[in-house]
């Protein structure tokens, strides 16, 4: 995808931003919009409107999160002349319709992962993004963990050759918020609204990190999905859970790399642990999201008697993104990843450059998710994939 190398900023006013969705992700994104200009040099913008279906709740959230106004009709908002950016934090089943409408209306779009609930929807969104890009309209998918400074540093170290040739990667994203069989039914447990369970919700992050860090693409997958709690209490009694609770997959990548992925929302005792291990010929890296400011590095080029994992506290001004924050040793948190994401998106709009991860990269992850589902349905048959982007 080529992008016109010119700014997409209005000439007479700040960028107008609208966010669609005010719950968990809407709150995280709103926090980023509220704070990004206080720490980074970004184009001028205004938090114009927050959109949600419940008028009372969205009005309260808009006031609390710093939005000038609120609305319940996203279709009206995407056609407003004072809106330039649409930030989509709504559930996955709404992504395609809102995204395509916004892009066709000439709005820059940031959309939460995964790109869509189905591969077909993701393909339509990517095609719409390509057409919009030719007109200078930018789009990006929100894989916010690319903006964890420790993982951005890991990317730099790997690119510098500090690990040598990557051989294999292990990624496990484990949570326990559904461990209790009495946890109530939500939209995240229905296929028609969520698309999938742990697979799309959190395994998508792990898969994106494997490709992002290695700069290689997945070409084959095998997968297994499990639903451990088949029914959960809803407002009218027990309801069927139609998505997975956990997923296991093995991946083959270009560059002769093998990877394993595990994701679970029923891993008792694990709150939000994304653990990544990267093993190369000259060294290794490990990371855990529950220790977000730390990266463990082993240099295998030194004598064996001196080898061992060493802790890098990623808090120095020389580390990615951290020049804007606090003095050394003053750690940052999970919410900062969204601030970094908004910063990068705004700079891409200003510079007229393609932000990353692009919809093409999001579509690539969607193909992998679909391959895992296909393999699971076929009882772990190997699924060969075609690469759908030029790079991760």
Residues 312 and 371 in one domain: yes
Final residue belonging to a domain, choices 105, 129, 144: 144
Mean pLDDT value across the chain: 95
Q: Give the separation between CA 62 and CA 114, rounded to whole angstroms.
A: 25
Is residue 132 located within the same domain as residue 261? no
The Cα 11–Cα 309 span in angstroms is: 51
* Statement: residue 1 has pLDDT above 50: no
Q: In a 10 Å sphere around its CB, with 0-12 CB exposed, 13-18 middle and 19+ buried, how is residue 32 labelled?
A: buried
- Look up residue 270 and give its two tokens: 């694990």
Q: pLDDT digits over 363-382, tens only?
A: 999 999 999 999 999 986 77
Domain co-membership, 222 together with 74: no
Give the per-residue pLDDT at 383.
78
Q: Are residues 299 and 156 in the same domain?
A: yes
Domain check: are 139 and 183 in the same one? no
Please tell me whether residues 28 and 60 are part of one structural domain.
Answer: yes
In 293-374 the beta strands, taken as DSSP E runs, fall at 294-299, 310-313
For residue 347, being part of any structural domain is answered with no
Q: pLDDT tens for residues 197-240?
A: 999 999 999 999 999 999 999 999 999 999 999 999 999 999 99
Cα–Cα distance measured from residue 303 to residue 314, given in angstroms and rounded to the nearest whole number:
25
108 backbone dihedrals φ, ψ, rounded to 5°: -70, 145
SS3 state at 189: helix
Could you tell me which residues come within 8 angstroms of residue 222 by beta carbon, excluding any fewer than 6 positions away? 249, 250, 372, 375, 380, 381, 382, 383
Please report whether residue 159 resides in a domain: yes
14-32 pLDDT per residue, tens: 999 999 999 999 999 999 9
Q: Beta strand 15-20 with 45-51: parallel, antiparallel or unpaired? A: parallel
If asked whether residues 328 and 368 sit together in one domain, one would say yes
Dihedral over alpha carbons 199, 205, 210, 215 (to 10 degrees): 130
Evaluate whether residue 10 is within a structural domain. no
The string of DSSP letters for 128-149 reads HHHHHHTTT--EEEE-GGGG-H
Mean pLDDT value of segment 285-304? 98
Check whether residue 131 and residue 273 sit in a common domain: no
Residue that is last in its domain, among 84, 119, 144: 144
CB neighbours of 126 closer than 8 A, spacing ≥ 6? Answer: 115, 359, 360, 362, 363
Cis peptide before 357 (omega within 30 of 0): yes
- From residue 7, alpha-carbon distances to 11, 43, 102, 106 in Å are 10, 10, 19, 14
| 239 shares a domain with 376 | yes
**What per-residue confidence (pLDDT) applies to 6?**
59
In angstroms, the CA 162 to CA 281 distance is: 9
Tell me the pLDDT band of 3, cut-offs 50, 70 and 90. Answer: very low
Residues of the domain holding 363:
149-291+293-332+358-384
Q: What are phi and psi of 61, to 5 degrees?
A: -65, -40
CATH assignment at residue 135:
3.40.50.720
**Above 90 in pLDDT, residue 119?**
yes
164 and 307 belong to one structural domain: yes
Tokens representing residue 387 in the block: 């690469």
Domain boundary among 91, 123, 144: 144
| pLDDT for residue 2 | 45
The CATH number that applies at residue 237 is 3.30.360.10
Mean pLDDT of 131-150: 97
């Amino acid at each position: 995808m080529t992008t016109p190398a010119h700014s997409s900023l209005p000439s007479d006013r700040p960028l107008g931003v609208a966010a669609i969705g005010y719950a968990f992700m809407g709150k995280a994104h709103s926090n980023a919009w509220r704070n990004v200009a206080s720490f980074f040099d970004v184009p001028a913008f205004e938090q114009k409107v927050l959109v949600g279906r419940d008028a009372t709740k969205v009005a309260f959230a808009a006031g609390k999160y710093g939005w000038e106004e609120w609305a319940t009709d996203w279709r009206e908002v995407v056609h407003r002349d004072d809106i330039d950016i649409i930030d989509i934090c709504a559930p996955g089943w709404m992504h395609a319709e809102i995204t395509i409408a916004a892009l066709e209306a000439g709005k820059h779009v940031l959309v939460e992962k995964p790109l869509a609930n189905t591969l077909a929807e993701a393909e339509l969104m990517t095609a719409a993004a390509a057409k919009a890009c030719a007109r200078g309209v930018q789009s990006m998918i929100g894989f916010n963990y690319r903006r964890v400074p420790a993982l951005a540093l890991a990317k730099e170290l790997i690119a510098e050759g500090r690990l040598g040739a990557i051989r294999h990667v292990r990624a496990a994203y484990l949570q326990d918020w559904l461990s209790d069989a009495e946890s109530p039914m939500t939209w995240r447990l229905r296929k028609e609204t969520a698309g999938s369970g742990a697979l799309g919700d959190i395994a998508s992050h792990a898969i994106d990190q494997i490709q992002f860090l290695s700069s290689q693409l997945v070409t084959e997958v095998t997968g297994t999905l499990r639903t451990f709690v088949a029914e959960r209490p809803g407002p009218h009694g027990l309801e069927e859970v139609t998505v997975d609770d956990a997923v296991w997959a093995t991946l083959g990548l270009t560059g002769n790399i093998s990877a394993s992925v595990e994701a679970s929302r029923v891993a008792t005792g694990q709150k939000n642990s994304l653990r990544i291990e990267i093993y190369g010929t000259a060294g290794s890296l490990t990371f855990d999201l529950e220790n977000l400011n730390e990266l463990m590095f082993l240099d295998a080029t030194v004598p064996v008697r001196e080898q061992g994992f060493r802790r890098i506290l990623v808090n120095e001004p020389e580390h990615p993104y951290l020049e804007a924050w606090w003095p050394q040793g003053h750690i940052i948190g999970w919410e900062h990843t969204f601030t970094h994401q908004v910063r990068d998106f705004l700079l891409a709009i200003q510079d007229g450059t393609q932000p990353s991860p692009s919809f093409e990269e999001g579509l690539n992850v969607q193909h992998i998710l679909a391959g895992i589902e296909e393999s699971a349905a076929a009882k772990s048959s190997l699924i060969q994939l075609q690469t759908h982007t030029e790079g991760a």
